[in-house]
Structure 1
Amino acid sequence: MVKGVRSWRFGYGVVAVMVLLMTGCSGGEPPRREKDSVGWSKCNELFGARNIDALEDQMGKGQLRTEGKSFSVKDLTAALDSEALGWDPEIFTYSAGASPCRIAIRESDKLFDSNVRWTSFPGIDGPYQWRGTGGDVVAVVLSDGLLELIFPCKIPGAHKQQEKDRPLGVRVWGDGMPKFDTGLRWKMIVALARNLDRELGCVNKPDIPSDFTAA
């Protein structure tokens, strides 16, 4: 009789522990990132997983999600290559470019965004600084939250003026992100620029420095 009571108590105890464990798991914090393996994997490919992890920390509390259409490096550079090959200096063209990785926090104004496009060397008001060997790279700070790199990238088979007149512009910025420090912005934009340079196969081999922090 005693043995039966002990056995019953032991079984009840196991069930109770399992219920507590299940309750604890269900009541835990939701994952920081919404399930979107395609969007997150592409952002990691473009900027590097460590940089995306650091960005997550700097975006603060809330659940993060990728927005819009994310692009892989291969798809993004295929579109850039096609556009460069079709460029004609006699015909005015404007490219809004693509936003390959956009990350937001639900019910918040916090947003990380990026943009890549063929552009021109800066004809804008505001501070900018030449960097690199022979001015290969322009670092343009347009505002506290936005950093842009503009660098020449000669595409094989494109018009002979393409390298000079249609350099590549790469931007990153954050809205509502006071903790998005310039150091991380620089790391992210350099990672993206180098990935694009490598995949596009820029004939001129632009010098994209890794040790410069725009101020």
Structure 2
Amino acid sequence: MLTATALLVTGCSSEPPRRDDSPIGWKACNELFGSKNVDVLQEQMGGGQLRIENQSYPVRDLTAGLIALARGWEPGSGAHLSAAFNPCQIAISKNGERLTSDVRWFQFSMSEIQSGDVSEEWRNVGGDVLASEDSGRGIEFIFPCKISGTHKGQEEGLPLKVLLWGVGMPNFNTDLRGNMASAMARKLSSELGCVNKPAIPREITLA
């Protein structure tokens, strides 16, 4: 039985592996999105070998970086704005299909977003999550996450923002996108140890 870390999907013995040999990258993608969702994504991406295109690192390194930034934050500080993490990028190079994820602390506070003082249109999609659609194939979502040991205003003033989008993927349907977004939000909330325990719906979608 194949482990979740390996995830080398093969057909006949003469066929090459469907996924490239990037165990750290595939493990991170499976942890963030859920292995079943990654399997469905593979089916939707069609023929060709799937590759991990970002610099692979474990989820614990991602969350450690985010926690360090949050603990160094204070009102008026912009030091966190240049730091973005790309924990999972899956692509089929020959036809340009690509799934990209981006995680960072957001530059606006929850009150600024909810009052409409930002250029993007955000709306509640359940629980504590606000979302905005990006060019039809992408979804951005934010939620408040209080990190232990941070400034008292960090939860409201520094929400977490995640972008998930597909390029050249006409079959990247809203159900899969919503399921992957929800899985990622719940995993990040757990691994970051958000003390406010944000409510995250089982599916994040704007459809």
Whether the aligned pair in 2 keeps the contact of 1:183 and 1:213 (CA below 8 Å) is yes
Whether the aligned pair in 2 keeps the contact of 1:151 and 1:167 (CA below 8 Å) is yes
Q: 2:141 aligns with which of 146, 149, 174?
A: 149
CA distance in 2, matches of 1:175, 1:124: 26
Q: CA deviation at 1:153?
A: 0.3
Matched residue type, 1:131: V
Matched residue type, 1:59: M
Long gaps (5+) in structure 1: 1-24
CA distance in 2, matches of 1:90, 1:40: 37
Matched residue type, 1:195: K
Q: 1:29 aligns with which of 15, 34, 38?
A: 15
Q: Structure 2 length normalisation: TM-score? A: 0.84
The residue that corresponds to 1:8 in the other structure is none
Q: CA deviation at 1:127?
A: 4.1
Long gaps (5+) in structure 2: 1-11
Q: CA deviation at 1:72?
A: 2.1
CA distance in 2, matches of 1:187, 1:211: 5
Q: CA deviation at 1:126?
A: 4.8
CA distance in 1, matches of 2:153, 2:194: 14
- TM alignment of 1:9-24, pairs within 5 A: none
The residue that corresponds to 1:129 in the other structure is 123
Whether the aligned pair in 2 keeps the contact of 1:43 and 1:70 (CA below 8 Å) is no
Identical-pair percentage: 50
The residue that corresponds to 1:200 in the other structure is 192
Q: Structure 1 length normalisation: TM-score? A: 0.81
Matched residue type, 1:75: D
Which structure's CA Rg is the greater one?
1
- The structure with more helix, counted as a fraction of residues: 1
